[in-house]
Amino acid sequence: MAEARQQTTRGAASAQTPWRDQLRSWFSHHRRSAHDSALRLRNAPLSSLMTGLVMGIALALPTALFLIMASIQQIGGGWEQAGRLSVYLTPDTGIERAEALADRWIENAAVGDVTVIPRDEAMETMRSSEGLSGTLDFLDGNPLPHTLVLTPDPAYREAAALEDLAERLRQADGVDEVKLDLAWLQRLNAMAKVLGRATQALALLLVVGVVLVIANTVRLAIESRRREIIVARLVGGTDSFVRRPFLYTGLWYGALGGLLAWWLVEVAFWWLSGPVGRLAELYNSGFELQRPGIDEVVLLLGCAVVLGWLGAWWAVHRHLRAVEPE
C-alpha cells in the first residue's frame, strides 16, 4: 500500500503540468478549502459558537484591560500633572515679579511649562467651589499669594530630578514655599507598573489558552475525518493538500473569536459607561472609558486570526502524521 502511494506521488510529480495550471489549481484548492471549512463551522453552529465564545472571552479580558489602562491616563488631565510643582510666592511679591520669575524659569531645561495664577484668580476659583463661598465672605481682603505652576520636562520627571528642581526653586527670591506631591507621583507610577505587568501576564496566559483551545478543536476535527485523510493520501495528496482545510478552520475560528471579543468589550464598556460617568461627575473629573477604535479592532481581529492559525498548525503538525494508510 505504501509502495502504491509512493508510485502515485512520483507519477503526479513527474507530470509536465504548465505552471499557470498549477497556480490556478493551487488557488482553486485554497478557495475550496476556505469555503468547505466555513460550511463545516456553519453546519455545527452550537459547537462553533461555544468555541468562538471561549476565544472571545479570553481575548476580551486583556483587550479591556489595555483600554482601561489608556483611559486611566485621563484622570486629573493626564499622568504628567502628578509631577507638577506649585510655587507659592511671598505675600509682598507683586504680579510683575511673578511674571519675571516665570520668564526666567521657562528657559530652564528641566521646566517644560510655567503657568502664573494671580491671587485674584485663585480667590475666584475658591469662591466657585461648593461650600467655600460663604466662608470666604468673612475674610478681610485676599490672603492668597501669587502662584506659579511648573510642569517639568518629560526627561526630568524622575524623583531625584524633581527633588533637585524643587530645592533650586526654594532658593529663589520671593519664593515662600514649593509643594511637590512626590508620593502621589510614585504611587501613580507604581500602580501603572503593577497593572501593566498584570495585564501582560494575563494576556500571555490567555493567548496560550486560546492556542490550546483551537489545537484541541482541530485535533478532534482530524480524528473525525480520519478516513477522508487516508483516502487523500492514497491518491497522492501531499501534506500541504491535506492540512490546508484544517488551517482554514483555525483561521475561521480565530475570526469568529475576534468578532465576539470585540462585541463583548463593546457591551461591557457600554454597561459600565453610565456608572463610571456618574462617578467621574462626583469627583469633577473628565474620566471616561476609551472604547476600541478602528486601529484597536483591526489589531484585535488580526491577533485572533493569527492565534487561530497557530493553534491549527500545531494540531496538524502533531496529529496529522499519525493518520497514515496501513
Using the predicted structure, report yes or no on whether residue 261 has a pLDDT greater than 90. Answer: yes
- Please state the rounded mean pLDDT for residues 120-135: 67
Query: By percentage, how much of the chain surpasses pLDDT 70?
Result: 76
Q: What is the mean pLDDT of the chain?
A: 78
Size of the chain in residues: 326
What are 49-94's pLDDT values in tens digits?
998 899 999 999 888 888 887 776 655 444 445 567 888 888 888 8
Q: pLDDT: is 65 or 284 the higher one?
A: 65
* Helix and strand numbers, DSSP H then E, in the chain: 11, 4
The domain boundary, picked from 147, 165, 187, lies at: 187
Co-location of 219 and 240 in the same domain:
yes
* Whether residue 125 is found in the same domain as residue 65: no
Q: Is 18 among the domain residues?
A: no
- The verdict on residue 7 lying in a domain is no
276, 69, 80, 131: CA torsion to nearest 10: 10
Domain contains 16: no
- C-alpha span between 323 and 222 (Å, rounded): 9
Please tell me the distance from the alpha carbon of residue 94 to that of residue 151, in angstroms, as a whole number.
Answer: 22
Q: Are residues 216 and 309 in the same domain?
A: yes
Same domain membership, residue 155 and residue 177: yes
Domain residues for the domain of 133 are 82-187
Would you state the pLDDT for residue 259? 94
Q: How far apart are CA 304 and CA 214, in angstroms?
A: 11
Q: Which is nearest to 259 in space by CA: 71, 51, 76?
A: 51
Is 112 found in the same domain as 226? no
- Lay out the sheet containing 175-180: strands in order across: 111-117, 147-152, 85-89, 175-180
- Cα 99 to chain centroid, rounded: 42
Which residue bears the cell 452550537? 46
Which candidate, 121, 11, 63, places its Cα nearest to that of 296? 63
Domain-embedded: residue 302: yes
| Residue 139 and residue 271 share a domain | no
pLDDT value at position 222? 82
More confident position, 12 or 271: 271
The pLDDT tens digits for 172-220 are 888 888 887 666 666 766 777 788 888 889 889 988 988 998 988 888 8
Q: Could you tell me if 259 and 289 lie in one domain?
A: yes
Predicted local distance difference test score (pLDDT) of residue 181: 66
Q: Could you tell me if residue 177 is inside a domain?
A: yes
Does residue 5 form part of some domain?
Answer: no
What are the grid coordinates assigned to 299, written together? 489589531
